[in-house]
Chains A and B, each alone.
Chain A
Amino acid sequence: MNRTKHLWKRLNTTLGRSGMLSAAFLAVVLLAAILAPLVAPADPNQSSLLDAYAGPSGAHLLGADGIGRDLLSRLIFGARTSLLGPALVVGVSLLLGIPLALLASWYGGWVDGVIARVFDLVYALPGLLLAVLTVALFGPGLTPAVVALSIAYIPFLARIVRAAARQQRVSPYVDALAVQGFGVLRITVRHILRNIVPVVVGQAAIAFGYALLDLASLSYLGLAVQAPTADWGVMVSDSDALLKGYWFQVLAPGLLIVLTVLALTVLGARISGEKPPGYLRRKRPAQTAAPADASGNDRTTVGAAA
């Protein structure tokens, strides 16, 4: 009992208010996704044309879409596909990226040089473009999109891991372990990796958010998750509803995407140890707040103009 209390307190101090709020929101979304068949009030694919674009009512808590499918149920089931894709992307890129990053940080020199340049190269490729190319080659679907994004996300994660591991690598405790005769694998996994876990988890959470957004965009374009399946990205692309003025059917999944990505980003930043952004609270200095002065557009000092 005391232990749980202590853990709760520690969690509270590390994550802060915004972090805890994000974690709670994500927990709700995750639970809903896992328990979808239990929580969803209706079959997400059961259509009844009589209820088309029905407003919120007892039968449909959030209303229904163009062919009378229950919106709430579709949102809940949509969470499954919308979260599974990014989870796969982040999982695969971590699986490939972490060993490469640790390798680079341990050996340094030319090994590091080669791996870092490859990361830079992949980093320069826009993930969405890579995904569109893959889909063009292998046809639309979740698998090609996930594979392409996984590759594109490796440098996003691995660059951070490499930098953090490098910092540990040059620390004398690693030398001390080497002098004790421990092998490379043991030192990197049991000591270095363990000490950079917060950085990895934090960055992974942020990557998860971005991957969710990317996959939703691809689904919106009809390149990833295909239409009848409930998915937030697919639901946002319901242009028919929008054309007819039923904005809520499009806004609701969009809002969920925004909130989930926001929560992941905030949580990720808190886990990796970033302080809450101070600029939100700090008062802006009067000078920068003032627009260009009345006489004109040039705010350069006189000396600089001359």
Chain B
Amino acid sequence: MKAVEGAGSVEDTDAVEGCDAVAARGLNKHFKAHHAVVDVDFDVPAGGSLGIVGESGSGKTTIARMLVGLERPSGGTITVMGRDRSRPARGARERGRRARELQIVFQDPYTSLDPSQSARAAVEEVLRHHGRDLSLAQDLVDQVGLTERQSHARPRDLSGGQRQRVAIARALAASPKVLILDEAVSALDVSIQAQVLNLLADIRAETGIAYLLISHDLAVVRQLCDTVLVLRRGRVVEQGECDRVLDDPAEDYTRALREAVPVPGWTVNA
């Protein structure tokens, strides 16, 4: 697999060096009366990877949407590559710069691609938008492991795994420093999941990109992440090294999450 030059390199010289890729402090989000995210703090070191786990409705996706600017935080600050993004971006320049810092791959591969755009067209559109060389499109398509034929096909002719590869290529086309994977492999079956996870691990090794992985699947988090954050009802329950938290959880909730994972010999308790 070929590495994409420029991805993960320091293009924006005004980025503050030596700081965390993502830093969230006192993050809060209210949806009317519902307090979806409560005082969440976390850091993703540059080139590191943080997993956010928790049950459905625990606020994982809300955090991701606030980070990429699709939701506005009710309180707290978000800093990406040393720059604050707690407020919506002003102007096309600022939007473009934020896009080159942080990208996201969504959960549902069936709706996260424009149905009338081939993989190649989608990647090229992003490259053009960020003023990057169009010849990188071929490298990106190769990097995510799409064949020539697949890269020219419409999303409806691709499988779920192939579509998710397209979504990853499109996100990488902006050469972000951080990639959010919002349940990015949850909709895929287990063997395809493993392929995509290996792909993500390879990309990280090649580009030094930081990951923020959102998942309810502890095995996925364990495979890809250094640190993990356990979320429950919008609050951080436990946070720390991946192996420590998942092998020897200090909190009951984490233990419950861990015990809910089916393993060999697992039976349903009556």
Chain A interface residues (CB < 8 Å from chain B): 171-173, 175-183, 191, 194-195
Please, how many angstroms separate the alpha-carbon atoms of A195 and B117 in the complex?
A: 10
Interface 1/0 per residue, B205-227 and A, CB below 8 Å = 00000000000000000000000
Quick check: A181 and B111 within 8 Å, CB to CB? Answer: no
Chain B interface residues (CB < 8 Å from chain A): 68-70, 89, 92, 95-100, 102-104, 106-108, 111-117, 126, 129-130, 167, 170-171, 174
Output the residue of A177, A181, A195 with the most chain B CB within 10 A. Answer: A181
Quick check: A195 and B115 within 8 Å, CB to CB? Answer: yes
Quick check: B112 and A172 within 8 Å, CB to CB? Answer: yes
**CB proximity of B226 to chain A, nearest CB, Å:** 24
Known contacts A175-B106, A176-B170; A181 and B113 CB within 8 A of each other: no
List the B side residues contacting A180 at CB < 8 Å. Answer: 99, 103, 126, 129, 170, 174
List the A side residues contacting B70 at CB < 8 Å. Answer: 175, 178-179
Please, how many angstroms separate the alpha-carbon atoms of A183 and B113 in the complex?
A: 17
Quick check: B68 and A179 within 8 Å, CB to CB? Answer: yes
Q: Give me 13 other A-B pairs in contact (C-beta within 8 A), A176-B113, A176-B171, A178-B70 excluded.
A: A172-B111, A173-B115, A175-B106, A176-B167, A176-B170, A179-B69, A179-B102, A180-B103, A181-B96, A181-B174, A182-B95, A191-B117, A195-B115
- Within 8 Å by CB of A172, from B97, B98, B108, lies B108
Quick check: B106 and A194 within 8 Å, CB to CB? Answer: no
List the A side residues contacting B68 at CB < 8 Å. Answer: 179
**CB proximity of A181 to chain B, nearest CB, Å:** 4
**CB proximity of A191 to chain B, nearest CB, Å:** 5
Residue of A nearest to B155 (CB): A173
Known contacts A171-B111, A181-B98, A194-B116; A176 and B129 CB within 8 A of each other: no
**CB proximity of B169 to chain A, nearest CB, Å:** 12
List the B side residues contacting A178 at CB < 8 Å. Answer: 69-70
Quick check: B129 and A173 within 8 Å, CB to CB? Answer: no
**CB proximity of A297 to chain B, nearest CB, Å:** 53
**CB proximity of A192 to chain B, nearest CB, Å:** 9
